Amino acid sequence: MTTDTTDNRIISSTFKPAGWLRNRHAQTIYPSLPWAWPDRLALRRESLELVDGDVTAVDWVHASDDLPQTTPLLIILHGLESSAESSYARMLMQAATASQWRCCVLHFRDCGDCRNRLPRRYHAGETNDLRCLLDTLQRNGNTGPLLAAGYSLGGNVLLKYLGESAAQSPLRAAAAVCVPLDLNECAEALNHGFSKVYQHYLLKNMKRAVARKFDRHTAAFDWQRTMRARTFAEFDDAVTAPLHGFVDKDDYYDRCSSVRYLHSIAKPTLIINALDDPFMTPDVIPHQDRVSEHVSIEVADSGGHVGFIEGGTPCRPRFYLPRRLMEFFEPYAAQPGL
């Protein structure tokens, strides 16, 4: 793909990978190693009662509890089978806290160590939980600028929400990183080469999570077909689609791919994707005609999937994403609250 830089909706990233970590798979895997980002802020958990009677969790940075509700608040949405414990969430929480912002992570249903009530989980197009959190924050007196960042699947959820809500969203600005903009294209990309290793690992975790919540007698889907699934497409067709009201995986992918919603976004939004992301192909980057004037898609030649390590040393790597996201958010955080 050749990046068109004649319109500011599609821009070239300044990111350059660390000389000691140029491979896209190394960029993808390295942040998950325990020494890559060992810092952990103390978190405080709150339950979020959802409109359909279900429940999920919101983890708040404890150090910013005493800040006034007029302070900027950054909401983080995590990726597939992830949580507030992921390194990318922890490093952005730390950056926001250093700027004297409040910060929280919205957990998707049944993720991390949070168990939900209803016989369902989460999916890439579930925007009502974010909508519920934002409504709750406003109802509880949060009047400072509201900002949101989503990673991978969480980025897809965030962009879909922004397109659905348009100018009605209370968010001042949003950023989405390594987004599977076209779910069908991304599911196919994971069937090739070393990317199949990620697919195998994530499917194993997804099956384990399903088996923790259901069994062959209580599942409202084909249990044997789910446990035999060898690809994301097979798993989504067997369990994700029927469990969440979609006809099949094609209906799920078509209705929930965030690329369909980019033209309707009315709030300042930054998307950062890498052309070498092993979870997708360069074809997921849309033509600028499909993108709202409020959206900028920053395209990097490298970076892997939520890696973007730009320097430092193997023991103390330096990450591009926290700095870039904070730079993007700062002008909107400086504006008066609602």
- Mind listing the pLDDT tens digit for each residue in 168-207? 999 999 999 999 999 999 999 999 999 999 999 999 999 9
pLDDT exceeds cutoff 60 at 78: yes
Q: What is the mean pLDDT of the chain?
A: 95
Q: Are residues 222 and 132 in the same domain?
A: no
Structurally, how many domains does the chain consist of? 2
Quick check: is 258 catalytic?
Answer: no
Q: Are residues 44 and 192 in the same domain?
A: no
pLDDT in tens, 126-147: 999 999 999 999 999 999 999 9
- Can you give the pLDDT at residue 180? 98
- Can you give the pLDDT at residue 4? 42
Domain range enclosing 54: 10-182+266-333
Contact between 268 and 331 under an 8 Å Cβ cutoff? The reply is no
Give the C-alpha separation, 196 to 159, whole Å.
26
Q: Are residues 160 and 232 in the same domain?
A: no
- Can you give the pLDDT at residue 321? 98
Give the C-alpha separation, 234 to 213, whole Å.
19
Instruction: Give the DSSP letter string of 218-287.
Output: T-SS-HHHHHH--SHHHHIIIIIHHHTT-SSHHHHHHHH-GGGGGGG--S-EEEEEETT-TTS-GGGSPP
- Can you give the pLDDT at residue 336? 67
Quick check: is 25 catalytic?
Answer: no
Contact between 61 and 93 under an 8 Å Cβ cutoff? The reply is yes
Of 256, 275, 308, the one marking the end of a domain is 256
Residues 13, 86, 152, 257: which is the catalytic one? 152
Q: Are residues 130 and 166 in the same domain?
A: yes
Within a domain: residue 30?
yes
- Can you give the pLDDT at residue 335? 72
pLDDT exceeds cutoff 90 at 93: yes
Of 256, 288, 316, the one marking the end of a domain is 256
Structural tokens at position 332: 């909107």
Within a domain: residue 174?
yes
Q: Are residues 214 and 118 in the same domain?
A: no
- Can you give the pLDDT at residue 218? 87
Residues 110, 129, 182, 277: which is the catalytic one? 277
Quick check: is 289 catalytic?
Answer: no
- Can you give the pLDDT at residue 337? 57
Element (H, E) at 177: strand 171-177
Residues 78, 107, 294, 305: which is the catalytic one? 305
Q: Are residues 284 and 172 in the same domain?
A: yes
